[in-house]
Amino acid sequence: MVPTSWYLALSAVLFAIGAVGVLVRRNIIVVFMAIELMLNAVNLTFVAFARQLGTIDGQVIVFFVMTVAAAEAAVGLAIIIAAFRNRPTVNADELAVLRW
Amino acid sequence: MTGNVLLSLIVWTPLVGALLVLLVPRDQPDGARRAAFAFSSLTFVLSLALWAGFRADTADFQWIEQGAWVPSFGIQYILGVDGVSLFLVLLTTFLTPLVILFSFGDITTRVKEYFFFLLMLETGMLGAFLALDLFLFYVFWELMLIPMYFIIGVWGGARRIYASLKFLIYTLAASLLMLVAILYLVSVHAHGAAVTFDVRELYGTVLSPTEQLWLFTAFALAFAVKVPMFPLHTWLPDAHVEAPTGGSVILAGVLLKMGTYGFLRFAMPLFPDATRAATPLILALAVVGILYGAAVAMVQPDLKKLVAYSSVSHLGFVMLGLFAVNTIGVEGAIYQMLNHGLSTGALFLLVGVIYGRRHTRAIADFGGLWKPLPRYAAVFLVVMLSSIGLPGLNGFIGEFLILLGSFAANRAATVFASGGLVLGAVYMLWMFQRVIFGPLRHEENAHLQDLTGREIAVLAPVVAMIVVMGVYPRPFLRAMEPSVKALVARIEAHDGPATRIAARVNGQR
Amino acid sequence: MHGGEIIPTSTLWLIPALPLAGLLLAIVFGDRKRLVTIVAPGVVGIAFAVALASVVTLLRAPAGARLVDDVYPWIVAGPFRADVAFRVDALAAVMVLIVTGVGFLIHVYSVGYMAHDESLPRFFAYLNLFMFAMLLLVLADNLVVLFVGWEGVGLCSYLLIGFWYEKDENAAAGKKAFVVNRIGDLGFVLGLLLLAWSTAANGAISLDVAHVEEHVHLLAPQTATAVALLLLVGAAGKSAQLPLYVWLPDAMAGPTPVSALIHAATMVTAGIYMIARLHVVFLASPFALEVVAIVGAATALFAATIALVQTDIKKVLAYSTVSQLGFMVLALGVGAFATAIFHVMTHAFFKALLFLGAGSVIHGMSGEQDVSQMGGLREKMPITWWTFLVGTLAIAGAPGFAGFFSKDEILAHTWGTGHYALWAVGAFTAGLTAFYMFRLLFLTFFGELRAAPEIAHHVHESPPVMTVPLVILAALSIVGGWVGLPEGWLWGPAFGRFLAPVTGHSALGEHGAGVETALMLVATLLAAGGATLAYVFYVRMPGLPYLLAWRLKPVYELLVGKYWIDELYDAVVVRPYVALSNLLWRIVDQMMIDGAVNGVATTVLANGQLWRYVQDGNVQHYALVFLGGAIALLSYYLVR
Amino acid sequence: MGSVTFFLLATALVVSALTVVVHPNPVKSAMALVATLFLLAVEFVFLGAHMIAALQVIVYAGAIMVLFLFVIMLLNLSDEEAEARRRGRALFRIGAWIGGGVLAAELAALFLRVPFPAPAAPPAGYGGAESVATALFVDYALPFELTSILLLIAVIGTVVLAQRRAS
């Protein structure tokens, strides 16, 4: 039996990889995918903890996270499309209109 | 304890009105105007009921409403009125409808937003006067800032952005210190007891002298900016000059009283030892403010600036009376707060009248207005005389009691302060001479319209109160006396000057 | 002195209330001139009648009694209490009769004098307001109420001096009067404060006249001196004494009836009345009394010298008023309080007469006030001439006339209390008074008319509504002094006996009647000398004054320039104050305080500009910072 | 599951995740993400979360990733990283990678420090459709309903954002 902490460590690594992706990639769609990766890393901890505690609650939370991820993906991609219409780029640097 | 809701009605009616005003369609500004006037008038009627039911024979808070608000932090919703706050509430509810009525013709852009902010401001002011929970007080205190910021910043004059920011930051910065002090005070009080922000219980907090001094300083800074005391006053002239007439009236009439009220209700009774320690400094600043304000007012070329600096001078008198810490001085100070609200409010209205006609506030642009505007001149005369404390009008009662009270506490300060009586007459009369007397210097002024019916409707109640309060101050003084005595007793130590004087007065000689 | 029977009454409030009602009617019916000209004098007449009735009641009561009307509690705060209460005792009785009586005559006169002025209703409104304030002042049973009247008359003076507001000088003169009065009032208020706290007793602080009189013994000697000197400052402001007299000559900018009523007969005597009312305080401080006497004598002499060379008919009378007020203050200073009030009364008669006569002259001369443009009006204005002559004789102290007895009494008391130097000053001033008054009389009514033909053509006697008051006042200027004859003459000093319960008997010393007669003779001779000199100068040898002025040029210019006191005040007080104010505003307020405030703002802003580079809008950069924060937090948990 | 299986799976997961992050071509990145999600589903199965594993494959790998691919195709994006790389972000990239490494190390260290006891054997039917459904529709009924609102808002938002404005 693999100890729960190993799963957690694995999720930590995946999470960090996702974070690095958010940081270094300029293609905003890839950034989104990195975010999905981070979400999934967290899901792994939930499921691992649920197993550790022998309860089902952690898995339910994963369900909710998936819902949120789906909604986020839909809205986020819609935003990308809308932005792309105005400025044909998905480069995060060039979409920096939020600065003052 | 919570059998009545009158105070809540008074506090929240304007806010309900504010929200309803927002619902009025944009193309019907008259509807917004009428709704705002109706709600503020309703508030005034309610506050009259409060006065009618007020018992003048007790120092306790009355009409108390108490309920939990944020129980986990001991924050409660406590409203209550005593002889100190009663008349300030009445002043607020009295002035607001008049300001709204005056603004009927004054404000033509974004009408409903203006009245929304004005009514919201009224709720904030009333709440601050009535709150007995320090946290609730702080919430209302900050709530007043926002509408005033917008009133100056949106409907103001050319430099309105500078003025409104200056106003906001000056007051906000100082009041944040007060928030910290409140939290500290509550945490000290909570040692070994339940956490509470109820000021009636906090009055009994035992603090070391050093703690008192720090906390008093924090409170005093917040209030001193509002008063405003020299040298924290420079936001006032800018704010007044840029604010629309209604904003100036409320600012001078009520908001400045927040500072002096805060001293009397919170800073002084919460930290009596520190109050006594700081008295010489405060008295000195008050006296400087009186003379300085009067001197600087004299050389102002702008009418509104002149009135603004005169406020610095007048509020100096109020501080003088408060820190006399005896019944006479404090009653005089409260009375003077009301007087200043009426007379300076009226002065701003009068400046607003000619500004509306000529779109200038420069004294040099007027002169000889008596001929085209006899009624205006007559009202101006009465208001000006009230402002310089002519006996028979309201201003005298306040100034006399303040001087009488402070004479016992600090003779030197009183003697210097009384110089303000002369200097006050100098700048007011000189201004009056240049604006109202003399030949008509500018052709444009020859055909100005005299006061309209609506303007008379606004000014007449103020002038009437100016006379009534000068001739028959008894109802006012009687109602505030027990509360003032209680507060003074709280501030005053057993060996303090007021007690010494009382002993001498009651003495056997 | 205090004590005595108190007769409660409830009619005294009517006396000030009547003019107040007149004021309200004048405001309401401002557009109906005729009604106003009936109502305004009418209410004052009724007030006179009510006052007379009250005085009759008082006379019937035993000596020392007083009528008291406690109307309502006014200011009650803590231990302090001041009621709106009125009293009529002997002192107030005299004053209230003077005020309402002379006031009524002047109201009637004004109906004629102001007939052609479009602002007549406003004039009568002010005049009624003045009567209200003045009556409040003299009837007050409480010093705070007295102060209401005190400032109220100052206000009316301000308004009436600036009545013709369209001229800048008038408005400025009004303001000057108010401000200088305020300086005096400041002293008065401080005096009252000190008095209030020093006489506090039995848990009560009160400024009731009776309370003060009862507890005046609580005053320590230095305190009494301080109170008395502060009150003297107040009196000096209101009664135009050195160094606060400067407003009164300027006050002549107002309509002439105003000069007669306010700046001669009534308001300016308020300071005298106040000192008399509070004489117990002054008696507690011999030093203060001495100061009072010196101020009075100095003012009398000082103003008389200026009056010698003035050419404006009203300015001469104004300086003469200042001088006469100095006499009254001198009387107060030597403790002859009743005598001072006696002179207040006679002065009210003859000075009102002189001013109204001057007004009649000005009216006839189409507004001309310069005596160098007048002359020879004897024939054209006979009633004015005769009455003016009576007034001049009265003020100069011609035997038998009103001024003779009162001035004589003052000088006698001055001598009698051992103030020989002050007596000399007073007697010399009496001579000067005769000189300048006769100079005025001769220049106005003798010789040839020097005015331009178109004015000369219009010169006419005034209508009866103006001349009747002149005649009545002339009669009073003759007989008014007979109530206070020297000791041993017929009924003797009846006036002093009447006032004695209030003001006390002033000691005339042990010189006896012989000395008084001798003093009287000296003063009369001096006055006669002055009059004769004036006759020589201005009728017999009209070139002589010019020669003298040329010979004594510096002295002459000093006098014409009124000792340059106004200029001195301007240079020492007014200008530095304005400059200081500007300095405070521009340097302290705008540069220092606002500079500091804006400096803080600028610092914050610069700081923000710096941090702005961090805030570059690149979300990934923010995210890296975020990551750094997360790492730091985790490190904390790891290390802990 | 033995340690060997775990490490093999873990290695595959890390490699595929790294591919998502570093591959310059977005389509390839997306495919790598699909692989990652599948591998995670396998982990879920090992952890007894059968239902969630199924959902992972259907919803994530099936629906969401298709959406991603669809958008990539729609916008016709090609490899543009090379161009971007030229603009001196090297320092930033190094920082980000170091930061990510430190974060992973710290988190892993924290987790590995905790001595979890061996979990008890799960009850029968643990992680099956029935147990998840019971939890979801009984204990978490209200949050579940709230998610529907969330999704509704997302749908509306998407429609509003993506529609072509009549200009």
Residue B75 pLDDT greater than 60, yes or no: yes
**Interchain CB distance below 8 Å, D106 and C624:** no
Which has the higher per-residue pLDDT, B486 or D80?
Answer: B486
Q: What is the mean pLDDT of chain B?
A: 87
**Interchain CB distance below 8 Å, B437 and C201:** no
C605: contact with A, CB 8 A cutoff: no
> CA of C626: which chain D residue's CA is closest?
D99
Tokens 């997360």 identify what position?
A: C630
Question: What integer pLDDT is reported at residue A90 of this predicted model?
Answer: 61
Question: What integer pLDDT is reported at residue A98 of this predicted model?
Answer: 46
Spatial separation of the C-alpha atoms in residues B263 and B182, rounded to whole Å: 14
Question: What integer pLDDT is reported at residue D85 of this predicted model?
Answer: 53
**Mean pLDDT across the stretch B300-307?**
89
- Residue among A19, A23, A99 minimizing CB distance to C615: A99
Spatial separation of the C-alpha atoms in residues B475 and B56, rounded to whole Å: 9
Q: Which fold has domain A4-95?
A: Helix Hairpins (1.10.287)
Among B311, B441, B505, pick the best mutation site for testing chain C contact (most C Cβ within 10 A). Answer: B505
For A:40-99, CB contacts with D below 8 A are 40, 43-44, 47-48, 50-54, 56-57, 59-60, 62-64, 66-75, 77-82, 84-85, 90-91, 93
> Residue B292: how many CB atoms within 10 A of its CB?
25
**What are the structural domain ranges in chain C?**
1-202+221-284, 291-560, 569-639
Q: What is the mean pLDDT of chain C?
A: 83
**Interchain CB distance below 8 Å, C634 and D106:** yes
**Interchain CB distance below 8 Å, A99 and C617:** yes
**Mean pLDDT across the stretch D70-87?**
64
Lowest average pLDDT, out of C456-460, C477-481, D120-124, goes to C456-460
- Residues 6 or more apart from C18 whose CB is under 8 A from it? C43, C44, C46, C47, C50
Q: How does pLDDT run across C376-416, given as a tens digit for each residue?
A: 777 888 888 888 888 888 888 888 888 888 888 888 888 88
Q: What confidence category does residue C507 fall into, taking pLDDT thresholds of 50, 70 and 90? A: low
Share of chain B above pLDDT 90, in %: 32
Q: What confidence category does residue C558 fall into, taking pLDDT thresholds of 50, 70 and 90? A: confident
ipTM: 0.73
Q: How does pLDDT run across C341-381, given as a tens digit for each residue?
A: 888 888 888 888 888 888 888 888 777 788 777 777 778 88
Looking only at the bridges linking them, the beta strands covering C6-8 and C66-77 are parallel
Residue B126 pLDDT greater than 90, yes or no: yes
What three-state secondary structure class fits B229?
coil
Spatial separation of the C-alpha atoms in residues B324 and B282, rounded to whole Å: 10
**Interchain CB distance below 8 Å, C618 and A19:** no
Using a CB-CB cut-off of 8 Å, the residues of chain C touching B474 are 72-76
> CA of B426: which chain C residue's CA is closest?
C179
One-letter amino acid of B250: I
Residue B228 pLDDT greater than 70, yes or no: yes
Q: Which chains touch B (3 or more CB pairs under 8 A)?
A: C
For B:431-450, CB contacts with C below 8 A are 433, 436-440
Spatial separation of the C-alpha atoms in residues B118 and B40, rounded to whole Å: 10
**Interchain CB distance below 8 Å, B473 and C74:** yes
Per residue, the 3-state secondary structure of B300-329, as one string, reads CCEHHHHHHHHHHHHHHHHHHHHCCCCHHH
Which has the higher per-residue pLDDT, C365 or B406?
Answer: B406
The token duo for C172 is 């400025």
Residue C136 pLDDT greater than 70, yes or no: yes
> Residue C557: how many CB atoms within 10 A of its CB?
12
Q: Confirm if C608 and B253 have CB atoms less than 8 A apart.
A: no
B505: contact with C, CB 8 A cutoff: yes
Question: What integer pLDDT is reported at residue D166 of this predicted model?
Answer: 56
Question: What integer pLDDT is reported at residue B325 of this predicted model?
Answer: 87
Q: How does pLDDT run across C97-126, given as a tens digit for each residue?
A: 989 988 898 888 888 888 888 888 888 888
B176: contact with C, CB 8 A cutoff: no
Residue D12 pLDDT greater than 90, yes or no: yes
Question: What integer pLDDT is reported at residue B285 of this predicted model?
Answer: 92
B77: phi then psi, degrees, rounded to nearest 5:
-100, 100
Question: What integer pLDDT is reported at residue B317 of this predicted model?
Answer: 92
**Interchain CB distance below 8 Å, C617 and A98:** yes
Share of chain C above pLDDT 90, in %: 7
D84: contact with C, CB 8 A cutoff: no
**Interchain CB distance below 8 Å, A75 and D161:** yes
Residue C444 pLDDT greater than 70, yes or no: yes
Which has the higher per-residue pLDDT, D38 or B509?
Answer: D38
Q: What confidence category does residue C505 fall into, taking pLDDT thresholds of 50, 70 and 90? A: low
**Interchain CB distance below 8 Å, A23 and C623:** yes
Q: How does pLDDT run across D41-51, given as a tens digit for each residue?
A: 999 998 888 99
Spatial separation of the C-alpha atoms in residues B439 and C168, rounded to whole Å: 7
Q: Please name which of C243, C197, C26 lies closest in space to residue C122, comparing C-alpha atoms.
A: C26
Q: What is the mean pLDDT of chain D?
A: 84
**Mean pLDDT across the stretch C144-167?**
87
Q: How does pLDDT run across C233-260, given as a tens digit for each residue?
A: 989 888 888 888 888 888 887 888 888 8
Question: What integer pLDDT is reported at residue A42 of this predicted model?
Answer: 93
Spatial separation of the C-alpha atoms in residues B33 and B400, rounded to whole Å: 40
Q: How does pLDDT run across B420-438, given as a tens digit for each residue?
A: 888 888 888 888 888 888 8
Q: Confirm if C175 and B429 have CB atoms less than 8 A apart.
A: yes
Q: What confidence category does residue C467 fall into, taking pLDDT thresholds of 50, 70 and 90? A: confident
Sign of CA dihedral B390, B395, B397, B401: negative
Spatial separation of the C-alpha atoms in residues C251 and C153, rounded to whole Å: 13
Does the domain at D1-79 match CATH 3.30.2010.10? Answer given as: no
- Residues 6 or more apart from C429 whose CB is under 8 A from it? C297, C300, C301, C304, C323, C326, C327
Mind telling me how many Å the CA of A4 is from chain D's nearest CA? 7
Q: Confirm if C81 and C73 have CB atoms less than 8 A apart.
A: yes
Spatial separation of the C-alpha atoms in residues C366 and C360, rounded to whole Å: 10
- Residues 6 or more apart from C306 whose CB is under 8 A from it? C319, C559, C562, C563
Residues of chain A with pLDDT under 50: 98-100
Question: What integer pLDDT is reported at residue C578 of this predicted model?
Answer: 80
Question: What integer pLDDT is reported at residue C3 of this predicted model?
Answer: 57
Among D52, D78, D94, D106, pick the best mutation site for testing chain A contact (most A Cβ within 10 A). Answer: D52
Among B371, B381, B404, B485, pick the best mutation site for testing chain C contact (most C Cβ within 10 A). Answer: B404
Q: Please name which of C461, C460, C435, C612 lies closest in space to residue C536, comparing C-alpha atoms.
A: C435
Share of chain D above pLDDT 70, in %: 90
CA angle C107–C110–C113, rounded 5-degree value: 170
Residue B499 pLDDT greater than 50, yes or no: no
**Mean pLDDT across the stretch D62-79?**
78
Q: Please name which of B232, B235, B224, B280 lies closest in space to residue B416, comparing C-alpha atoms.
A: B280
- Residue among A22, A24, A96 minimizing CB distance to C617: A96
**Mean pLDDT across the stretch D6-27?**
90
Using a CB-CB cut-off of 8 Å, the residues of chain D touching A39 are none
Instruction: Tell me the range of B429-443, C169-183, C528-542, D127-141 where mean pLDDT is highest.
Output: D127-141
Using a CB-CB cut-off of 8 Å, the residues of chain D touching C621 are 92
C609: contact with A, CB 8 A cutoff: no
Residue B261 pLDDT greater than 90, yes or no: yes
Residue D87 pLDDT greater than 70, yes or no: no
Residue C206 pLDDT greater than 80, yes or no: yes
Question: What integer pLDDT is reported at residue C352 of this predicted model?
Answer: 87
Residue D84 pLDDT greater than 60, yes or no: no
By the 10 Å C-beta count (0-12 exposed, 13-18 middle, 19+ buried), C310 is classed as buried
Mind telling me how many Å the CA of A99 is from chain C's nearest CA? 4
**Interchain CB distance below 8 Å, D127 and A56:** yes
- Residue among A4, A27, A68 minimizing CB distance to D119: A4
Question: What integer pLDDT is reported at residue A99 of this predicted model?
Answer: 43
What would you report as the CA-atom Rg of chain D, rounded to the nearest whole angstrom? 21
Looking only at the bridges linking them, the beta strands covering C205-206 and C66-77 are unpaired
Q: What confidence category does residue B71 fall into, taking pLDDT thresholds of 50, 70 and 90? A: confident
What is the pTM for the complete model shown?
Answer: 0.80
A24: contact with C, CB 8 A cutoff: yes
